[in-house]
Chains A and B, each alone.
Chain A
């Protein structure tokens, strides 16, 4: 589904990603962990198409197409979804109107007619139920005055509505209390299928107790320095990141 090869990226001339290789297949959940400043969120931003990031080398294929060649909206329409670390508040745009517009823009891209009002509302209701999302939030302005937890839940609810092939969750667990974490994780688990895939970016192992990954990768200094299964996450939790940094330092040639 997603094939990242030797990806290099920079912000304002500073190299942030320094050769990422990652292959994600349908049905898989990949966790990306790493210390602060290692490039985790940058990877999410580059994949979603944030303008500030300049790709300096490498390639990313998504379902056989060149992802880097697409605008952010086309990436989304092709089935890529970014759950934001900080979902944006947009006063004056109602949640429901926003979702309807998004659904219909994606449908138009695939040559489908706009969804009928009734069908849309039915879908909305069933997903609300599935995701345990408070219906009262639907008519409010997008994320305006939402608590941190409500914003993250809204993002996951949007994911349920848009049914992406690949969801990238950028530190979705940050700022969540344990109850919100449980609800958000349960939502993600309900959406997991053999046809879609998830990249879960997180700082802590805690989230991975709820959303069990197939693979765990450690990002450090713009590169994936270690990959393994879910046990790797436990090891990191126990030992921290310092032992990895030591290992890497030993491996790196003396300058």
Chain B
């Protein structure tokens, strides 16, 4: 532990003191204490010696951080929201500032369809007590433990039994800091029996000073026959770095769709997406798309835990790596002995455009049942020379032809998005990043 502490002396050494100050009088003291102990027992911030962090060295990103103390809240104007370019039509817009709900800027769904509360006000909700801090996977993640210890606020969402939440909930995470800051938002989302809900997350950094690491945890639970579609649009400016833990527990016959699209200028994005299939006949679709430019590091670690029979999971991640960027994909599928008749598919395709870009990709299947269908595949390549020649033979210039092929590669994934406005926004963002690179 001493070696790790010396990696980030300024922050790590101050954590015990910050823990006593910042969490004094806070809710859930036992959970926080236990998590902080666990974080320390795990060795604090993970170095590259920890297998799951082999290619992603977070230490430099934490070196400059000073505090976990949130700055005083600021007033957000409609114009500022508009300026993010992230607003979507036909949604319930829910605005958070550093994890704190901003009711004056938000429109909540009707109470009979869904409950939306600040985490700090949700403690008495039965769905909260049933599911909060309940995911077994939390204990494995250094940063999830850190989050549990220090989290400030976030959103509790409960889609009511049999409710079809009419419009998607669009959560706009705004972040603001006045010094280098580590912020820990925490969310719990539950879809009750037979409910159906779509949740879109976007992120934007407001003007501030210093860098900011957002270490967030979403616990999501889909109960019997419910459906949840979860879009993580990882947008956001250059001062933000993201470490996300999304932990999903699926009950019988439920459906969970996740779309993780990283289209940002953040130097570091690390996603830990863990799905636990706890009952029979669940269905899961995971779509990921990342564009990494400059010196960006985009790391997706996913795991799908098939615990019960007759479940189906489908995963497709694609990435475009440019400049000196690095991509990491680690996709674990674990099929337990009892999980007969599992269908599990996984695919990761990467287009490496620049000679200095890197991708580390690793499919990891562990299968202990004997009557299952599982497949995985991973590719790393450039645009197809034959396709390039075909386009050129029709008069299309080299740069344009390359750009068309890269976009085609990307839009194959964005075509999976079911909400037209989201698809349009994502494709516009992708086009912007891809054009910049291809024209270089």
Please tell me if the beta carbons of A98 and B407 are within 8 angstroms of each other in the complex.
no
Q: Does B78 contact A (CB under 8 A)?
A: no
Q: Does A250 contact B (CB under 8 A)?
A: no
B-facing residues in A23-79 (Cβ within 8 Å):
48-51, 71-73, 75-77
Please tell me if the beta carbons of B395 and A73 are within 8 angstroms of each other in the complex.
yes
Q: Does B368 contact A (CB under 8 A)?
A: no
* Interchain CB contact (< 8 A) of A102 among B387, B395, B408: B395
Q: Which residues of A contact B415 (CB under 8 A)?
A: 92
Please tell me if the beta carbons of A162 and B394 are within 8 angstroms of each other in the complex.
yes
Expressed in whole angstroms, the minimum distance between the Cβ of B139 and any Cβ of chain A is: 41
Q: Which residues of B contact A233 (CB under 8 A)?
A: none
Q: Does B24 contact A (CB under 8 A)?
A: no
Total A-B pairs in contact (CB under 8 Å)? 73
Q: By the criterion of a CB under 8 Å from any partner CB, how many residues of chain B are at the interface?
A: 25
> Which stretch in A80-88, A117-125, A177-185 binds the other chain?
A80-88
Please tell me if the beta carbons of A105 and B412 are within 8 angstroms of each other in the complex.
no
Please tell me if the beta carbons of A92 and B407 are within 8 angstroms of each other in the complex.
yes
Q: How large is the interface on A (under 10, 10 to 19, 20 to 34, 35 or more residues)?
A: 20 to 34
Q: Does B105 contact A (CB under 8 A)?
A: no
Q: Which residues of A contact B404 (CB under 8 A)?
A: 93, 98, 101
Q: Does B393 contact A (CB under 8 A)?
A: yes
Expressed in whole angstroms, the minimum distance between the Cβ of B397 and any Cβ of chain A is: 5
Please tell me if the beta carbons of A98 and B393 are within 8 angstroms of each other in the complex.
no
Please tell me if the beta carbons of B408 and A50 are within 8 angstroms of each other in the complex.
no
Please tell me if the beta carbons of B411 and A92 are within 8 angstroms of each other in the complex.
yes
The verdict on A105 contacting B396 (CB below 8 Å), with A92-B407, A92-B409, A92-B412 known, is yes
Q: Which residues of A contact B396 (CB under 8 A)?
A: 73, 98, 101-102, 105
Please tell me if the beta carbons of A90 and B393 are within 8 angstroms of each other in the complex.
no
Please tell me if the beta carbons of B393 and A72 are within 8 angstroms of each other in the complex.
yes
* Interchain CB contact (< 8 A) of B408 among A71, A82, A84, A93: A93
Complex Cα gap A106–B415 (Å) = 29
Q: Does A172 contact B (CB under 8 A)?
A: no
Q: Does A91 contact B (CB under 8 A)?
A: yes
Q: Which residues of B contact A106 (CB under 8 A)?
A: 395
Q: Which residues of B contact A91 (CB under 8 A)?
A: 408, 412
Q: Does B82 contact A (CB under 8 A)?
A: no
B-facing residues in A79-136 (Cβ within 8 Å):
81-82, 84, 87-88, 90-93, 98, 101-102, 105-106, 109
Complex Cα gap A141–B387 (Å) = 13
Please tell me if the beta carbons of B395 and A88 are within 8 angstroms of each other in the complex.
no
Please tell me if the beta carbons of A73 and B387 are within 8 angstroms of each other in the complex.
no
Expressed in whole angstroms, the minimum distance between the Cβ of A170 and any Cβ of chain B is: 11
Q: Does B122 contact A (CB under 8 A)?
A: no
Please tell me if the beta carbons of A105 and B411 are within 8 angstroms of each other in the complex.
no
Q: Which residues of A contact B389 (CB under 8 A)?
A: 50-51, 72, 88
Q: Which residues of B contact A88 (CB under 8 A)?
A: 384, 386-387, 389-390
Q: Does A158 contact B (CB under 8 A)?
A: yes
Please tell me if the beta carbons of B394 and A98 are within 8 angstroms of each other in the complex.
yes
Q: Which residues of B contact A93 (CB under 8 A)?
A: 404-405, 407-408
* Interchain CB contact (< 8 A) of A87 among B384, B390, B398: B390
* Interchain CB contact (< 8 A) of B397 among A48, A49, A84, A105: A105
The verdict on A73 contacting B397 (CB below 8 Å), with A50-B389, A90-B390, A91-B412 known, is yes
Q: Which residues of A contact B393 (CB under 8 A)?
A: 48-49, 72-73, 75-76, 81-82, 84
Expressed in whole angstroms, the minimum distance between the Cβ of A103 and any Cβ of chain B is: 8
Q: Does B391 contact A (CB under 8 A)?
A: yes
* Interchain CB contact (< 8 A) of A73 among B398, B407, B409: B398
Q: Which residues of B contact A77 (CB under 8 A)?
A: 395
Q: Does B58 contact A (CB under 8 A)?
A: no
Mask of B390-423 contacts with A, CB within 8 angstroms, 1/0: 1111111110110011011111100100000000
Q: Which residues of B contact A73 (CB under 8 A)?
A: 392-393, 395-398, 401
Residue of A nearest to B397 (CB): A73
Expressed in whole angstroms, the minimum distance between the Cβ of B21 and any Cβ of chain A is: 53
Please tell me if the beta carbons of B395 and A76 are within 8 angstroms of each other in the complex.
yes
Expressed in whole angstroms, the minimum distance between the Cβ of A12 and any Cβ of chain B is: 15
The verdict on A109 contacting B395 (CB below 8 Å), with A87-B390, A90-B390, A93-B405 known, is yes
Expressed in whole angstroms, the minimum distance between the Cβ of A94 and any Cβ of chain B is: 9
Please tell me if the beta carbons of A102 and B390 are within 8 angstroms of each other in the complex.
no
Please tell me if the beta carbons of B392 and A72 are within 8 angstroms of each other in the complex.
yes
Q: Which residues of B contact A98 (CB under 8 A)?
A: 391, 394, 396, 404
Residue ranges of B at the interface with A (Cβ–Cβ < 8 Å): 384-387, 389-398, 400-401, 404-405, 407-412, 415
Instruction: Known pairs A73-B395, A102-B391; list 7 more (Cβ under 8 Å).
Output: A87-B390, A88-B384, A90-B387, A93-B404, A93-B408, A105-B400, A162-B395
Residue ranges of A at the interface with B (Cβ–Cβ < 8 Å): 48-51, 71-73, 75-77, 81-82, 84, 87-88, 90-93, 98, 101-102, 105-106, 109, 141, 158, 162
Give 4 nearest A-B pairs by CB, closest first.
A92-B408, A76-B395, A88-B390, A72-B392
Jot down 28 A-B pairs with beta carbons below 8 A, ordered by A. A49-B392, A50-B389, A51-B385, A72-B389, A73-B392, A73-B396, A73-B401, A76-B392, A76-B394, A77-B395, A82-B393, A84-B390, A84-B393, A91-B408, A92-B409, A92-B410, A92-B412, A92-B415, A93-B405, A98-B391, A98-B394, A98-B396, A101-B396, A102-B391, A102-B394, A109-B395, A158-B394, A162-B394
